[in-house]
Amino acid sequence: MKYDKILIVCTGNICRSPTAEYILKQLLPDLFIASAGINATPNRKVEPKAILSAHKNGIDISPHIARQLTPQMCEFSDLILVMEESHIEDIALICPQARSKTMLLGQWTSPLFIQDPYKKSQDTFDQIYRQIENACKTWAEKLK
């Protein structure tokens, strides 16, 4: 199956999923890549520590604003990548038919689950950035 439309999901859409979205957009520029949060505050800006972590690695995620996940987003997407196992369950409740196309961003890497750095130190954000980047590079290779 060809995956042309990828949706990346985390909890608030202000740390992990926008980071992964912007990394994957660089790695796979021909695909449609977006992100959303299961419990997002719409139009909220990205966490400043996430912006700094991405900036240190040459990526500007500051334009991103949070979006709440909807069933329509799930239906539109060919592949949904999530950070934690609980997100798979949440998506199945929001859009049951999307369960079969939902996978972990860390599916092919270690750690399998990418923990939420929200309200943690800059060092934690930097560590999570590296985990997300590693997972995105692995997915990009599989999706090419």
* Distances 61 to 3, 52, 81 between C-alpha atoms, Å: 23, 9, 18
Closest by CA position to 105, among listed 132, 73, 66, 71: 132
Q: Are 66 and 90 in contact (CB under 8 A)?
A: no
| Residue 10 designated active-site | yes
The dihedral sign for the CA sequence 23, 24, 30, 35: negative
* Distances 104 to 88, 121, 122, 141 between C-alpha atoms, Å: 8, 24, 24, 15
| Residue 99 designated active-site | no
| Residue 116 designated active-site | yes
**Prior bond of 63 cis (ω within 30°):** no
Q: Considering 4, 78, 116, 126, which one is annotated as catalytic?
A: 116
Q: Considering 15, 16, 74, 95, which one is annotated as catalytic?
A: 16
Annotated catalytic sites, by residue?
Answer: 10, 16, 116
